[in-house]
Amino acid sequence: MTGSSFLGIFFPDERATTVEDVDYQKLIDSGIKAVIFDLDNTIARWGDERLAEEIIDLFERLTSMGLKVGILSNSRNEVIEDFVIDLPFPHLFNANKPSRKGFRSILEELDVSPQEAAMIGDQLLTDVLGANRLNMFTVRVEPIDPEMEYRFTKLNRIGEKTLLFLREVYRFLRRIKEAACWNNNL
């Protein structure tokens, strides 16, 4: 995780537009052995009943690159879970992110340490925060369809905006402090 400020735990190490845009070779080169994906708005639209072919193709490509792939979701959608169950990728639904319990359980299933895993998701307050709490590498992607979200997620988005605002305030205050120190050193 990035630790540049006290808010660092809420922010990802990297950002990408979609899961297709993540530089997976770079992750491998930095020692990552497993990639864990959020489901809703990261690899599926909210309410989808199955994963798109492109996502399964991506997972197969990652597997052939030597990465383990897992899915960690707060979703309770049993229809898509029934679809995911038949895929050869470990998954955990109803994971209660940002609780560390679900992260630990999928890491154990993938047989990797937190430092060997990257979490890829669209939400700062669940995917990024939970993974950062365990010191995993974090990648935030843009939500596939920001208009279609679970009500609780909409609340989280307000939290995200507040965090971004706080970070800007913090950076501003730090700049003032640096300027003051610089003046003192003259």
Instruction: Return residues touching Mg ion (CB under 5 A).
Output: 38, 40-42, 122
Rounded to the nearest 5°, which phi and psi values hold at 83? Answer: -70, -45
Report CA dihedral (159, 46, 1, 71) to the nearest 10 degrees. Answer: 150
| Closer residue to Mg ion in complex, CB, 45/175 | 45
Residue 149 C-beta: closest distance to Mg ion, Å: 8
Nearer to Mg ion, 54 or 168 (CB): 54
Query: Could you give the dihedral angle defined by the CA atoms of residues 128, 60, 101 and 144, in that order, rounded to the nearest 10 degrees?
Result: 40
| Closer residue to Mg ion, CB minimum distance, 99 or 113 | 99
**Closer of 78 and 168 to Mg ion (Cβ):** 78
Q: How far apart are CA 33 and CA 16, in angstroms?
A: 19
Least Å distance between CB 19 and Mg ion?
Answer: 11
Report the nearest approach of Mg ion to the CB of residue 44 (Å).
9
Residue 122 C-beta: closest distance to Mg ion, Å: 4
Cis peptide before 98 (omega within 30 of 0): yes
Instruction: Report the C-alpha gap between 46 and 41 in whole angstroms.
Output: 6
